Amino acid sequence: MIQCFPSGVAMLLAATVTVAAAAAPPAVHTPAPGSAERTAIVRTLHSGDANPRSRFTFRAFRVLASEPRAIAYVRADGPVGSFQALLQRDGQGAWHKIWGESDGGSNSCDVGARHYAWAARLLRTYTATPDAIFPGLVARTETLRRMARTAPGLQCVGDLEGGPG
């Protein structure tokens, strides 16, 4: 059965679909191995390495572009252990590592809760759902907050970089 709508209704429906498509959140993607985007992010992760040719085994690699900026989340194993990081790029500029946690060392649950909460606030400026780019972030933040209330001095996170300072 074919429905006929007055031309005004059809135009309203078309406008609604267009606005809904324009309002859709930016998509999270994983850059292909060897792509310029992935290569630039990996080079940033190697910054300061004793051996910039060392390899990473990525467990997660997600990028969200929200022009004119972009943010990336990586979780990987490298030559000195496991790590996770957030990297940011403004415009067509270089990627910068702005947040991280790695094996070794230790920090209190209180410090960890603030570190993770900072990452969640930052990601909310890109997307309403921080877990879309950094899986498990919201739950981990809440767990650290709860642990910080019950045992603030307990060492429950690894080495922390960047973030709230």
Contact criterion met (CB below 8 Å) for 29 and 62 = yes
DSSP state of 132: G
b/e burial code for range 120-135 (CB count within 10 A of at least 16 → b): bebbeebbeebebbbe
Q: On the CB side of 97, how many CA atoms lie within 13 Å of its CA?
A: 19
Based on C-alpha coordinates, what's the Rg of the chain?
20
Q: What is the pLDDT of residue 54?
A: 81
Q: What is the pLDDT of residue 13?
A: 40
Q: What is the pLDDT of residue 153?
A: 81
pLDDT by position in tens, the chain (length 165): 455 545 554 444 444 444 444 456 679 999 999 999 999 999 999 886 667 678 899 999 999 998 899 999 999 998 888 999 999 999 989 999 999 999 877 789 999 999 999 999 999 999 989 999 999 999 999 999 999 999 978 998 999 999 986
Q: What is the pLDDT of residue 7?
A: 54
Q: pLDDT (tens digit, 9 = 90+) per residue, 11-49?
A: 444 444 444 444 566 799 999 999 999 999 999 998 866
Q: Which helix (H) or strand (E) holds 87?
A: strand 81-90
Q: What is the pLDDT of residue 18?
A: 44
